[in-house]
Each structure stands twice: as structure tokens, then as C-alpha cells.
Amino acid sequence: MSGIDPTDGGTPPPQGDCQSLVIDTQISSPKADVIAGISVGDLLDVALNNDTDIVVVVVLFNGQVAGGITAPLLPRLRECMGQGAIYRARVTARHDALVRVRIAAV
């Protein structure tokens, strides 16, 4: 039947294992002083930031927060990182404050 949620409100369909998770997105709320040194091809660390009540995913450049990550697969990324998976973000494009990255497991 059309219009029916295939998950019936239960567990969403599997999204693959953590090693195959890849997210293409842009850095949100970029920190101008940190991203000033970022170039296409750079590798950034991806980390969980627990400084607030909400666990957020951030990217780090030379140990400093460059900005956050938002994407539809963010809950899955957080879950995988919570299970010990390690991710890096490769800078794929940069135009002024707009920095696009591809996040993948190490």
C-alpha cells in the first residue's frame, strides 16, 4: 500500500555497518579563525563534543574546533562513534567560510 511507513514506527531499516558510513556535508557554524588555515585535501578529526547537554559532532583542525556537523545520518554517526568507530573528514571544497567535507571511517 502506498503511503505506509515500511518501518511501522519501529526500528528503521539498517543503514550499513559503521565502516561503510560516508557522509558528504559542509561544516556548520564554522569558526573563522580556525578554518582560515584549511585547504582542500586536508584531513580533519571528527569528535563528539559533550560540553553541553546535547552531544554534538565537531570537526577539529590542528586540535581546534573548526565547526559542527549536521546531516541526515548524524544520529548513525554518533551511534557509531559511541561504539568506538573513528572517523576523519577530508575537505572536498572550500569557498570563503563554506567548507565541504566527506566523512568516512579510518
CATH code of residue 55: 3.30.70
**Helix, strand, coil tally for the chain in percent (to 5):** 15, 40, 45
DSSP code at position 18? G
Establish if 29 belongs to a structural domain. Answer: yes
pLDDT tens figures, 13-47? 345 689 999 999 999 999 999 999 999 999 999 99
Structural domain count, the chain: 1
Domain that holds residue 42: 18-105
Confidence band (pLDDT; 50, 70, 90) for 1? very low
Give domain status of residue 89, yes or no. yes
2 located within any domain: no
The predicted model scores a pTM of: 0.82
In terms of Cβ atoms closer than 10 Å to its own Cβ (0-12, 13-18, 19+), residue 58 is buried
